[in-house]
Amino acid sequence: MDTDQLHAMRHSLAHITAAAVQRLWPEAKFGVGPVVDNGFYYDIDLGERKISDQQFAKIEKEMRKLIEYGDDFERFTMSIDEAINWARENGQPYKEELLNDLKRSGTTAARDLDADELGLATDGDAAVEEVSFYKNGTFTDLCRGPHVANAKDVGAFKLLRVAGAYWRGKEGNPQMQRLYGVAFATQAELDEYLERLEQAKLRDHRKLGKELDLYTTSQLVGVGLPLFTPRGTVLRDIMAQYSNQLRQRHGFEKVWTPHITKKELYETSGHWAKFGDELFLVTSQETSDKMALKPMNCPHHTQIYASKPRSYRDMPVRFLETTTDYRDEKTGELGGLNRVRSLTQDDSHVFARPDQIKEEINNLLAAARELYETIGMKLRVRLSYRDDSDGYLGDKGLWQSAQAQLKAAVEANDLDFFEEEGEAAFYGPKIDFMATDAIGREHQVATVQLDFVQPERFGLEYTTDDSSKRQPVMIHCALLGSIERFLSVFIEHTAGWFPFWAAPEQVRILTINDTVLPYVDEITSILTDTVLMKPVKYNEVRFTTDSRNESLGKKIREASSMKIPVQLIVGPKDVEAREVSVRTQSREEKVTLSNLVAYLQEL
């Protein structure tokens, strides 16, 4: 099934859902029933009657009957006035409202509803004169289609959930019930999707964040401002260190900038206008300066670049800073670590000559590849280019050369890629990295963004070999993106079983009884002196000892529920043999004390 067929099939199932609901409860009034990711929904007004999960089976049974009966989907048209009459006579006030809007102007109906998604016929600003309907069996619906030919042609489906939704998404409008379903071409694909959904619930980083004691939130601190516990902070620091060390190896130098700045910096950069109400404002009591918490670091870094004359021989200049930015996101959109108001970016900026773009992109791609290989996530990249419209700033020739250099670098790195025109930012083309997690979901992680505008706004320059002045190109790059968002992906990708190098507590020693304690002292002094080098340099082993007077079974259960990657079990026999029993997520084995360090370094 191609995308169009899948779309038609899901949309047909939305009609069949509504048809089934109408057979069960003829008083049902229908809103809209569009296709969404992996499925469809229908907004239904059933007055006082509430659809509950328990009724899904009943509705699905009715849907199966309709599918088995196999009515054709028949398309026909009506004049707009006939259609309005039809809606009125059939007691469908929501359809009547939509039709009246369409009669006035095609775009009115389209404005607060995505008309295309809804399958409504709209024709720019013009009033609509004729609308199309689709009929399957006794159910008729205003719709632009397309549909499958026959009800039998739909694939495997399942109703998933029901949620309240205001008519046209506006508070104050009647509250409808939004009935969601998922649908795939085959039962196997549907089963796989449902399994993934189940997996996703178990891996939810908000659930694991609490269970593994990684972060917390406080009403007193505020929404979207997570607080990291000791364990979560180790994880954050390790990731930040890894990203920093990786970039330092690729020629970046660490810089530091303050978290507040004068308004004028962002007026010059253009962020004052762009970020507008997302800025947290700060008032100085000493000066008349109007200040803001930084929403990003690029403008600060331009000022370090501009702090001294640069020659073509100094280029490229590469800065890195892993630092927290503040954005006053809408509180309704905040939840977990996915979207926060204090986001820590592993930010980097390259100031390069235009002829160095390809090499610099290559450098960043190599770093990103290494990072995601270590993390065990497959990468795919999207190249976002400009289109022919006038909304882009900077020289067109520069754009073309830059886009070609981006593509050449991606190809040279043997990365899976796809290209999209019209997706670039107005100030330059970019590369977005999409990483696939353990249950097949794709997340946007790192980005490499070219920028022709900020160097101009800040009047950045370098001296060329003929002593003339030229503007550098700026390349923004974050490998992890925001550490908070990255952690939400990483926690769910690993289901909390972090790789050994990243785990907050890497090793837990579990004693069988107190007679082994002198031997445990030997083990701990070995661990204390051990420094791990991969992939983050100079990390001491993070370990604890559980020598409580509890059963070994209980100690193992606790260590496993905290997902400690290495459990060292020590009993009297181990003391005698000068070894330890190593227990990891996937195996159990004996390791001699003299091999312990080598063993850990291999993990």
Specify the stretch interacting with Zn ion by CB under 5 A; choose among 233-241, 275-283, 323-331, 473-481. 473-481
Please say if 81 is a catalytic residue: no
- Least distance CB 300 / Zn ion (angstroms): 10
By beta-carbon proximity to Zn ion, the closer residue of 157 and 266 is 266
Catalytic, 476? Answer: yes
| Residues pairing with 580 in the sheet | 591
For residue 413, the minimal CB distance to Zn ion (Å) is 22
Stretch that binds Zn ion, among 125-133, 140-148, 296-304, 512-520 (CB under 5 A): 296-304
Q: Minimum Å distance from CB 303 to Zn ion?
A: 13
CA distances from 438 to 39, 239, 325, 491, 495 (A): 22, 19, 29, 11, 9
Q: What does residue 353 show for φ and ψ, rounded to 5 degrees? A: -75, 150
Nearer to Zn ion, 38 or 322 (CB): 322
Q: Coil, strand or helix: which one is 556?
A: helix
Which span sits near Zn ion by CB under 5 A: 26-34, 61-69, 327-335, 470-478?
Answer: 470-478
Residue 461 backbone dihedrals phi, psi, to 5 degrees: -155, 165
Least distance (Å) between residue 591 CB and Zn ion: 46
3-32 residues near Zn ion, rule: CB under 5 A? none
For this structure, is 454 an active site residue? no
Q: What is the CA radius of gyration of the chain?
A: 30
Residues in the interface with Zn ion (CB under 5 A) total 2
Interface with Zn ion by CB under 5 A: which range of 44-52, 90-98, 413-421, 472-480?
A: 472-480
Q: Is 109 in the site for Zn ion (CB under 5 A)?
A: no
Considering 95, 103, 205, 349, which one is annotated as catalytic? 349
Is residue 486 within 8 A of residue 444, CB to CB? The reply is no
Indicate whether 476 belongs to the interface with Zn ion (CB under 5 A).
yes
Listed residue (442, 433, 413, 320) closest to 372, CA to CA: 433
- CA atoms of 311 and 11, how far apart (whole Å): 60
* Residue 11 bears catalytic tag: no
CB 296 to Zn ion: min, Å: 6
Q: Is 25 exposed, middle or buried (0-12, 13-18, 19+ CB in 10 A)?
A: middle
Binding span for Zn ion by CB under 5 A among 264-272, 314-322, 474-482, 569-577:
474-482
**Closer CB to Zn ion, residue 110 or residue 475?**
475
- For 272, phi then psi, to 5°, come to -60, -45
Buried b or exposed e, range 39-62, using 16+ CB within 10 angstroms: bbbbbbbbeeeebeeebbeebbeb
Please calculate the CA angle 476-460-262 and round it to the nearest 5 degrees.
Answer: 75
Active-site residue, from 43, 101, 346, 347? 347
Q: Active-site residue among 11, 236, 318, 327?
A: 327
Does residue 298 interact with Zn ion by CB under 5 A? yes
**From 476, 493, 563, 583, the catalytic residue:** 476
Tokens standing for residue 31: 């809103």
User: What track of x and - describes contact with Zn ion for positions 408 through 447 (by CB under 5 A)?
Assistant: ----------------------------------------
Please report, for residues 51, 171, 437, the alpha-carbon distance to residue 47 in angstroms, rounded to integers and kept in the order given.
Answer: 11, 17, 42
In the set 92, 177, 345, 356, the catalytic residue is 345
Task: Write the CB contacts of 20 (distance below 8 Å, at least 6 apart in sequence).
Answer: 59, 60, 62, 63, 65, 66
As measured in angstroms, the least distance from the Cβ of 333 to Zn ion is 22
**Nearer CB in complex with Zn ion: 319/392:** 319
Considering the complex, what minimum distance in angstroms separates the CB of residue 349 from Zn ion?
A: 6
What residues have CB less than 8 Å from 64, skipping those under 6 apart? none
Residue closer to Zn ion (CB basis): 103 or 476: 476
Binding site for Zn ion (CB under 5 A): 298, 476
Catalytic positions are: 298, 327, 345, 347, 349, 430, 476
